[in-house]
Structure 1
Amino acid sequence: MRFLFFRVWVITVVIPTKVGIHNLIGDMKNVHQYYVYILASKIRGTLYIGMTNDLQRRVYEHKMGITRGFTSKYGVNKLIYFETFKDVNEAIEREKRLKKWNRAWKIELFEKNNPSWQDLAKDWYDDILTD
């Protein structure tokens, strides 16, 4: 069996060539990302706050009404705001805090960057969705 030897900082790492460098790098790139997001039904409409590790998939689920519940019942499917986190606990805490905010504070938060309540995901699914 052949081995690859290389130095990372001051640590020598030995990887059998069957495992390969690509598998090691792939594992290192597997950094998790979490999102807290706000959806709206329309301008000045119903708001929804959620948290996910895959924003694109989750917004798609909201747009398609895949999960029965609040967002599908009230047509809340326009992504108007999101924040990114590396730590799942920070994302969960932020979601909980935002849910406790009054409506005016939430609107003030996202209107700083999205004053016209534009759907930030409107071009994500052009090939499969139409307005």
Structure 2
Amino acid sequence: MPSWVDGHRAELKSHYTDLEFQLHKMAFIQLLTEGQFMEALRYSKDHLAKFNDREKYFRQIKQLSCSVLYANGLRSSPYGHLLAPSLWTDVRQTFMSSFCRVLGLADQSPLYLSVTVGAMALPGIIKMATIMKAKKTEWSQDDELP
């Protein structure tokens, strides 16, 4: 697991992020896919067991534990979803978001936020412009909005 997460464990917990669990989960899956079954079980005992007290992770830990039984054919097993590439995308997103939160930064770029807010405001502005056009008034002519 990256040392950055180890060094910022307290901050990550205060932001209620799943990053540490997700990284351990992916490390476990990586060991399984490499055929290191005993190492995966040891890793689970050493790293995933500490999340067992949280109901939030119980189902996932149970799935990971049972996936060992299907390790040779994991892709075609009921646990094949554990190999989905989207899991890595989720980890990447969680890491970026957590990293920015710990540093006190926005996890979205200011330009993206500005464009999003502008796009959300556009329908209201268009509606107001349509109403003002129907009333044949200009913004500069009236002190009040319609």
TM above 0.5? no
TM (normalized to structure 1)?
A: 0.27
Higher helix share: 2
Q: Which of the pair is proportionally richer in strand? A: 1
Bigger Rg over Cα: 2
Normalising by the residue count of structure 2, what TM-score does the alignment of the two structures yield? 0.25
